[in-house]
């Protein structure tokens, strides 16, 4: 079975809920490694967790996740991305399937920029990007509520994630696992 590494930063637990939903979606089709970036991994502004990077080395697919802060991923996620440059120079993650998910304070809270950042990071590594193939606003189950084809974008409603967004995250996990199985 392929390995799906879900690499994410979460401060309030919202992005973590999305990461777990992505994992649930992939669970029957892939082995899943939840790779949470924590403050302990950041030393003097630099990401230091070689075992997390090695998990990605062994994965067939990777899902990147971070809340959107000030129009982009959290600084902790950015520190992880910067630390991946050694792998970039060797193209060690080339041909892995990649996708992304994010949450923001508002429906139009610049989450698309965070997803764009993830897709550019993946492109730099030679990874193959996997967006959502759910037309926004047209899914009978209400998935892809905000209509982002690049990846999962969401925001809280009355302080919680809508079930439709968690279902979209599960769908993204299924899609990644299927593509990783074909790619491997």
pLDDT in tens, 65-124: 999 998 899 999 999 999 999 999 999 999 999 999 999 888 877 899 999 999 999 999
Tell me the average pLDDT of the chain: 93
Q: Which domain holds residue 100?
A: 3-183
Sign of CA dihedral 126, 176, 71, 76: negative
Domain count of the fold of the chain:
1
Given this model, what pLDDT does residue 184 score? Answer: 57
Q: Can you give the CATH number for the domain in which 126 is found? A: 3.40.50.360
> Model-level pTM?
0.95
Name the nearest CA neighbour of 81 among 104, 59, 49. 49
Q: How confident is the model at residue 172 (pLDDT cuts 50, 70, 90)?
A: very high
């Amino acid at each position: 079975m392929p390995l799906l590494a879900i690499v994410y930063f979460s401060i309030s637990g919202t992005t973590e809920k999305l990461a777990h939903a992505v994992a649930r979606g992939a669970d029957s089709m892939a082995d899943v490694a939840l790779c949470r970036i924590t403050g302990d991994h950041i030393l003097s502004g630099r990401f230091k967790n070689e075992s997390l990077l090695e998990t990605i080395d062994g994965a067939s697919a990777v899902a990147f996740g971070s809340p959107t802060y000030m129009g982009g991923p959290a600084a902790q996620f950015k520190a992880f991305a910067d630390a991946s440059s050694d792998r970039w120079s060797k193209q060690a993650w080339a041909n892995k399937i990649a996708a992304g998910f994010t949450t923001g304070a508002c429906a139009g809270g610049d989450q698309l920029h965070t997803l764009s950042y993830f897709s550019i990071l993946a492109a730099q590594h030679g990874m193959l990007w996997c967006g959502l193939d759910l037309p926004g606003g047209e899914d009978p189950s209400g998935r892809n509520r905000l209509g982002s084809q690049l990846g999962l974008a969401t925001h809280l409603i009355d302080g919680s994630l809508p079930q439709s967004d968690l279902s979209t995250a599960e769908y993204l996990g299924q899609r990644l696992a299927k593509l990783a199985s074909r790619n491997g």
